[in-house]
Amino acid sequence: MSIHKLLFPFNSAVRLIGGLNAAQSIIREPGPAGKSAYQSAIDLGLFEGTEADWVLSLQADKSFAWHQSIASYVWTVPHNLGKFPAVMVLDSVGNMIMSDVYFVDENVVRITHAIALSGYVYCN
């Protein structure tokens, strides 16, 4: 006889058949309501703010992709993200390259290479 642990969706009914002659029904009753993720984070001191602030914090951060099609020593990338993002630079065939990255301001980054290159910049 084998024993299997089964997980059931909330309020579901399932019929298990064990062999040719045995059958039983299992109904999972709903448990007590728990705290929301927001309330748990507040209680644990992991978040401060309103529930609306919490929902906004769950949204993905802004990102930007740039294709530098003309080989150049210096790429000026207007990402317009309003922040100093992480920057990843790839050459035209997708190899990650180490270049000098200078933040002109919160919306523009200047990337300088040792040789003229074309490629891609990803900011997030």
CA distance 18 to 108: 66
CA distance 4 to 77: 56
User: pTM of the predicted model, to two decimals?
Assistant: 0.55
- The answer to whether residue 104 scores a pLDDT higher than 90 is yes
Instruction: Write the pLDDT tens digit of every residue in 3-42.
Output: 555 555 555 444 555 544 444 445 566 777 788 888 888 8
What are the Cα distances from residue 58, in Å, to 1, 22, 36?
A: 46, 48, 14
CA distance 93 to 72: 15
Instruction: Write the pLDDT tens digit of every residue in 69-80.
Output: 999 999 999 999
Positive or negative: CA dihedral 110, 111, 116, 119? negative
How much is the average pLDDT of 56-72? Answer: 88
Q: What is the reported pLDDT for 32?
A: 78
Domains of the chain by residue range: 13-57, 64-123
